[in-house]
Structure 1
Amino acid sequence: MISRDSSYFTVPYQFSAFLSPWPNNALPSDEQLEALKSPGLKLVGEVKLLEAQCLHYLRNLDNDAKAVVDFMKLQSRKVDLVLHYLLEQQAHQGQKAQGDSFGGSGMTVITAEPLQPDTRWQTTLYVQEELLCVLCIAQVKHCVPCDDGHLSELDFIAISDADVEQLVQASLRIQQKQLRARKQQLET
């Protein structure tokens, strides 16, 4: 079993990840990491940031603005769906891995071949349900055999603060949905 001693909790959830070997020991600066992002990833990041800022202000309005807030959320969701669709159509670099869990400080993935501990990977995560796309550098902490291949735990070692925030928020929302589903299941 892979340990969970990171600074953020992780949530079990299936997602897609693409891994490319990181060619050197030097980590990219924030500017270099941003430059690695495709135009589509940059666009999604900007839209998500603007959305979070605007919805925060709208939530502080009184109850009369609830209809406006709901409409803005719907419009935002439509834009997110279109952007995510466009990103899915792009060619992906690296080997595809099946995500098993993620959080603000790392993830676990299943790969056909084992990932060697302490190796670094340029990683792109796609969390479909949350319309989330993140590019970061991750380092393999552990790798163990599993039924579907090899289960590897990776720690994020170069990631933007905005992407950490998005991962934390997405993991919280997914956990809430999982807990509600479990509660409903127990009640029936």
Structure 2
Amino acid sequence: MSELTLQQLAETYQDYFSVEHGISLNVRPLDRPLPSTDELAAAIPAPFLMASDVNSLNSSALRSLNRLGELAEELANYLQQQARKVDLLLHYVLRQQDDESTRYITQSYSGSGCCYLADSALSPLQVVEVKLFLDNNDGAVFCYGQVLSCEQVAEKWQIKVVFSCIREEDRELIVRASLHQQSKLLKQKAEQRQQHTSS
């Protein structure tokens, strides 16, 4: 995976729809070139791989039930309860990977990258290790990125990072989570509008 220019990073950052929402992430600057996809695969901590496998197993198991007919609904409910237990356990294990010293909260995120506020600046093109912890037990993603921009906002620095070295299934996981969050926000806005018109 070769490092990108600022222009290429800026274009890549726009590739996916971005949702304004705060989720926890760890960002650690690296003093090295952007790792290769093989190095990424070797570096992903086991809990992140496990979370990815559990997510794909859950969705494929539920798809298979559609062919069973009447019993499918009861069986689906049972499997979803079991999956929920696994998710809770996995969520706990993933939280052990969350390093408080490098923890930030996103202002926005997408399949392309994220934006967050930090106390100290990072240089554009800086290579960083990113751990993204998605809401609602939707899993977590480990990837490498590059800093697109770093601008001072009051006493903080607003940093935009592009996910430059990420597994495709992890990018899809982030896209699904951002779309889910977007639909929740749209539903909330619709409910608020309804309350205003009825009052």
Q: TM-score band (shorter)?
A: 0.7 to 0.9
Query: How many angstroms apart in 2 are the aligned matches of 1:142 and 1:21?
Result: 14
Which residue number corresponds to residue 22 of structure 2? 14
Which residue number corresponds to residue 28 of structure 1? 36
Say which of 117, 120, 131 aligns to 1:124: 131
**1:176 lines up with 2:176 in the alignment:** no
Query: How many angstroms apart in 1 are the aligned matches of 2:177 and 2:73?
Result: 23
Note the alpha carbon deviations across 1:126-151, whole angstroms, 9 max, x for none. Answer: 12324321001111111222246111
Query: How many angstroms apart in 2 are the aligned matches of 1:65 and 1:129?
Result: 25
Which residue number corresponds to residue 174 of structure 2? 167
Query: How many angstroms apart in 1 are the aligned matches of 2:49 and 2:191?
Result: 38
Number of residue-to-residue matches in the alignment: 186
* 1:39-50 correspondence runs (5 A): 39-50=46-57
Query: How many angstroms apart in 2 are the aligned matches of 1:118 and 1:15?
Result: 23
| Higher alpha-carbon Rg | 2
Give the direction of change, closer, same or farther, for the CA distance of 1:19–1:5 in structure 2 (3 Å limit). closer
Q: Which runs of 5+ in 2 are unaligned?
A: 1-9
* 1:17-96 correspondence runs (5 A): 17-29=25-37, 31-59=38-66, 61-62=68-69, 64-90=71-97, 92=99, 95-96=102-103
Give the direction of change, closer, same or farther, for the CA distance of 1:91–1:16 in structure 2 (3 Å limit). closer
* 1:135-154 correspondence runs (5 A): 135-147=142-154, 149-154=156-161
Give the direction of change, closer, same or farther, for the CA distance of 1:155–1:100 in structure 2 (3 Å limit). same
TM-score when scaled to structure 1? Answer: 0.87
Report deviation, 1:66. 2.0
RMSD (CA atoms):
2.3
Note the alpha carbon deviations across 1:36-71, whole angstroms, 9 max, x for none. Answer: 122222211211121122223234554651222233
Tell me the SS of whatever aligns to 2:23: strand
Query: How many angstroms apart in 2 are the aligned matches of 1:5 and 1:91?
Result: 25
